Structure 1
Amino acid sequence: MRTREHVLIVGGGIAGLALAAHLGRSTQVTLVEERPERAGAGTVLALWRGGRDALDTIGVGERVRATALPVEGGGLRSADGRDLVELRDRDQRLWFTPRPDLVAALEAAVPPSVTRLTRLVTDPRALAAEVGADLVVGADGVRSAVRQHTFEGSAPVVTDWIALRGHRPGPPERAATEWWGPGGLFGVTPGPQGAAWFCAVRADHRDAPLERDEALALARGHFGDWDPRVGEVLTAVGDEADVQRILVAPRLPSYADDGVVLIGDAAHATSPNVGRGANEALEDAVVLADLIHRRGTKGAPLAFSRRRRVRGRTLQLAGAAGLRVATSRRGARLRDTALRLVP
């Protein structure tokens, strides 16, 4: 006879690991991930106060801070390099953390009592019945199988944007700078190997596979007449880049259904220009774990949706609007709007 409720977490990325770490101390947890090796892939992630507070609650805040990179300055620039907004972060409100370090910290915090499975999940409710779970948590990203199995018509929204990111070798970077211009944006932030860079640019043929060489050629062509500092970064990185089509989560009537709840990008993935994805995943995990502790697996899902859905939708709308402003031909004349959209 079971004495504790059982939660099945589908997805072993930041949201899933954070929930397993926080919830697994008091609740029976099964964590399933198809490809665990992917969790730590990537460059750096922005950490705002909400995300850092969530890490403290989980118990890994100090470990993450030990390798995190604070921002000392930077700002927004136009495509030709003119200053739009200057950033002086004397209070160091924004940090960047290497994604592998964040994932490693969360992995280390997952209790040994958590059952780990490595498999593809196509029917989350069937798997829940197999392992005897009372609740399925979809933490499996923007392409979430849990969401698509639970909510009709909830495939990810494919945009006409691609994102490229990587590392630029060189001296340590202490500024976070973005360039905004027609049809694209480009950014450089602190990174563990000198600097991290990222860009977004429009690309037709949404259904075509993304080839790295073609994407790099597209980016170099698009940003070729921008501020020379942008070109210097693209030259320095050579052929190394991670390329992704930008997908966003569809608008959902709720994050909860019978015996299922969505967190992180599975619930509210937005365009990456907002820089809040990891933070919202961490906050989702802490909120849901606390609600399960107080209300159990029956009462927590709907309460979680009511508490987090408005915020998730607001960030999705802000991300879409911010991307339009940043890449508009009138973007340089929309400084006041840009200031309101910077998180």
Structure 2
Amino acid sequence: MKVIIAGCGIAGPVLALLLKQKGYEPVIYERGQRTPEGAGLSLMLQLNGLRILSLIPGLVEQLPGKSIDEASVYSVVPSDERILGQSGHPGALRHEYGYGLFGLRRPSFLALLTDTAIAQGIEVHFDSQVLDIEPGKGSVGVRLHNGETARASFVVGADGLHSNVRVALFGKQSATFTGLTQVGGITQNAFMDRKPTMFNFYGENMHLITYPVSDTTYSWAITRRESEAKETWRAMDTVEQDAVRSGPFSTLPFGAGYLVRNAEKITKYGLYDRPELKSWHKGRVVLIGDAAHPTSPHLGQGANQAFEDAYHLVRLLVQHHPSTESDLSDETLSAIFTKFEARRVERTAAMVQGARRMGEMRVVEGVEKARARNDAVQAKWAVEGAVLAESKQMLDFKWEGWGREV
């Protein structure tokens, strides 16, 4: 049974690999090249995402990144420099569940997912943008940018924030600038005297997060409230990068300034979101990942929630249509998509809203407000086990059937 997936980013290949396991024949159409410019800096895989990736044999063992053992939080407000908290909760999660937090370079991860999909016999067509949907009875078509049409039993839009599939289903909805921008980079030989640690540095109108993506490399991003910037991950020009390396962030204490001064490549991008959708499907087409529920990065759950989407969609397909040898009726597929939304819309909406709140909390203007925020952060981290308990609750993910005992 052929399934068309629009998008070969984070969500598309994982969905394709899970579908392939269950007897489907996924075909991926990707608008960009195999090694796209502006693939981003890094991402953090978390407990829920890693557990789903473990369903793909051998994938987790090949992940090109670094497990995180500790988390530390500092204030870098000039009149209020102090440590706000430390915790071993990333290591505790890994000890209890087998998976914790794992940082990795985004381009390397994308390449691994694509290579794994192709090695499993999944067709991946690059430079093949899906422009529109052509509905039909018993099947559905997609119109590609070269004028050709491809048909399948159903279509999954996994084509990200700027999803053409979403536009085809629900019309054009402009992305909304959140008022926050990020500047980020990759730095070698940072924090070599520490265990692999995720650091949060809270300043006045700025927040810096950093975590390891290899034995010797840290990725970092600074969030600020400022005028609008484009949503792109392409590197700044040389003059702009040098200005950041020598600018005010280069003098931040506790090792944060070292990251900025010694960054290999620096990018800048705006943070955007879109109106929340109450339904993710129409006819034989459904959305997953950022196409359905784009989120700001402040909880680090974008990719991980996309993996949850993929897991539940495939689980429900197998549960309600166990044989791929027989056709999927319109009624059965509609019931599957409806149950999928019922399982996912509320959880992803909570994650999106939580990420927005986290961004607002992290980036406050004015020294007094920054100090008050620091006090609140320190109080939370002072309660032993509070951060670990919060992580467990946020990352709660239960197997609901995959033909295996867990």
TM-score range, shorter chain: 0.7 to 0.9
Q: 1:332 matched to which residue of 2?
A: 374
Larger Rg, first or second structure (1 or 2): 2
2:236 aligned with 1:212: yes
C-alpha displacement of 1:220: 6.4
Report the secondary structure of 1:42's partner residue. Answer: coil
Q: 1:244 matched to which residue of 2?
A: 269
Report the secondary structure of 1:183's partner residue. Answer: coil
Q: 2:175 matched to which residue of 1?
A: 156
C-alpha displacement of 1:60: 3.7
Amino acid at match of 1:332: N
Which of 323, 339, 351 is the equivalent residue of 1:303?
A: 339
Amino acid at match of 2:236: R
Task: Quote the Cα distance in structure 2 between the aligned partners of 1:321 and 1:29.
Answer: 37
TM-score (norm. length: structure 1):
0.86
Distance 1:138 1:109, change over 3 A: same
Q: 2:203 matched to which residue of 1?
A: 181
Q: 1:132 matched to which residue of 2?
A: 151
- Higher alpha-carbon deviation: 227-236 or 51-60: 227-236
| Seq. identity, % | 24
C-alpha displacement of 1:51: 0.8
Report the secondary structure of 2:55's partner residue. Answer: helix
Which of 290, 298, 302 is the equivalent residue of 1:265?
A: 290
C-alpha displacement of 1:87: 2.0
Report the secondary structure of 1:7's partner residue. Answer: strand
Report the secondary structure of 1:110's partner residue. Answer: helix
Amino acid at match of 1:325: M
Which of 217, 225, 238 is the equivalent residue of 1:194?
A: 217
Gaps of 5+ in 2: 95-99, 136-140, 144-148, 322-327, 395-406
C-alpha displacement of 1:44: 3.0
Task: Quote the Cα distance in structure 1 between the aligned partners of 2:225 and 2:58.
Answer: 38
Which of 14, 30, 34 is the equivalent residue of 1:18?
A: 14
Is contact 1:64-1:102 (8 Å) kept?
A: no
2:60 aligned with 1:71: no
Distance 1:225 1:241, change over 3 A: closer
Gaps of 5+ in 1: none
Task: Quote the Cα distance in structure 1 between the aligned partners of 2:338 and 2:304.
Answer: 21
Task: Quote the Cα distance in structure 1 between the aligned partners of 2:35 and 2:357.
Answer: 34
Distance 1:84 1:125, change over 3 A: farther
Q: Deviations over 1:146-176 (max 9, x none)?
A: 1122113533222222222221011656111
C-alpha displacement of 1:178: 0.8
Is contact 2:225-2:363 (8 Å) kept?
A: no
Distance 1:211 1:69, change over 3 A: closer
Q: 1:85 matched to which residue of 2?
A: 85
Distance 1:222 1:138, change over 3 A: farther
Q: 1:97 matched to which residue of 2?
A: 104
TM-score (norm. length: structure 2):
0.74
Amino acid at match of 1:331: R
Task: Quote the Cα distance in structure 1 between the aligned partners of 2:318 and 2:14.
Answer: 15
- Higher alpha-carbon deviation: 91-100 or 34-43: 34-43
Task: Quote the Cα distance in structure 2 between the aligned partners of 1:232 and 1:258.
Answer: 53
Task: Quote the Cα distance in structure 2 between the aligned partners of 1:322 and 1:147.
Answer: 27
Q: Alignment length, in residue pairs? A: 337
Task: Quote the Cα distance in structure 2 between the aligned partners of 1:272 and 1:207.
Answer: 16
